[in-house]
């Protein structure tokens, strides 16, 4: 969802950048693990997560991402099994959290980083090891041993 939001923001900025003056972007997620991924360098994570974090960080700044309580997250309304009749009257779904109506200075700007995560929820870092092996074969010496004529060696090498 965070990658999708970053793509949408990038797309909208391309469209409206010459029509609107956008001074700051606020992105919210209720997933503290996703926020930890977003705020960290991509190489710290396994390939699947690293690729998404990298893509997201190309489109949005990690600093614009903040934590929102699940109770204030309109996206959670769709996953709670509500009937259409219930959604019609649900202000959170249509307007977002109530604090969005106030000035941005009063919005909750919180980030649940690694220090707030329980150690059991941390994702293990994929340790990357490099191994090099090579075999040195002196082809020139081998050719001289096999062929006594320089013209034969030139024909083979050419």
Q: pLDDT for 59-117, tens place per residue?
A: 998 888 888 888 888 888 878 888 888 888 888 888 888 888 888 888 877 755 554 44
- Cα separation, 107 vs 42, in Å, equals 28
End-to-end CA distance of the chain: 57
With a cut of 80, say whether residue 31 has pLDDT above it: yes
Q: pLDDT for 115-126, tens place per residue?
A: 444 433 444 444
For the entire predicted model, the pTM comes to: 0.64
Whole-number pLDDT of residue 115? 46
The mean per-residue pLDDT over the stretch 123-131 comes to 54
Whole-number pLDDT of residue 74? 85
- Cα separation, 82 vs 92, in Å, equals 13
With a cut of 80, say whether residue 128 has pLDDT above it: no
Which residue, 23, 4, 15, is CA-closest to 75? Answer: 4
Beta-carbon neighbour count of residue 2 at 10 Å?
Answer: 20
Question: Are the CB atoms for 90 and 82 separated by under 8 Å?
Answer: yes
Whole-number pLDDT of residue 87? 83
With a cut of 80, say whether residue 1 has pLDDT above it: yes
The mean per-residue pLDDT over the stretch 22-29 comes to 86
């Amino acid at each position: 969802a965070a990658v999708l939001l970053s793509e949408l923001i990038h797309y909208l900025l391309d469209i409206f950048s010459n029509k609107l003056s956008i001074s700051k972007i606020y992105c919210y997620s209720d997933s503290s693990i996703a926020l930890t991924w977003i705020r960290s360098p991509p190489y710290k994570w396994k390939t699947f997560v690293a690729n998404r974090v990298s893509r997201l960080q190309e489109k949005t700044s990690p600093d614009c991402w903040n934590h929102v309580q699940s109770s204030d997250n309109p996206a959670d309304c769709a996953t709670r099994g509500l009937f259409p009749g219930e959604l019609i009257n649900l202000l959170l779904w249509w307007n977002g959290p109530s604090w969005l109506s106030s000035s941005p200075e009063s919005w909750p700007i919180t980030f649940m980083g690694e220090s707030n995560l329980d150690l059991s929820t941390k994702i293990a870092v994929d340790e990357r090891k490099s191994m090099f092996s090579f075999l040195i074969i002196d082809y020139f010496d081998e050719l001289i041993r096999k062929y006594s004529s320089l013209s034969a060696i030139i024909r083979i090498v050419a």
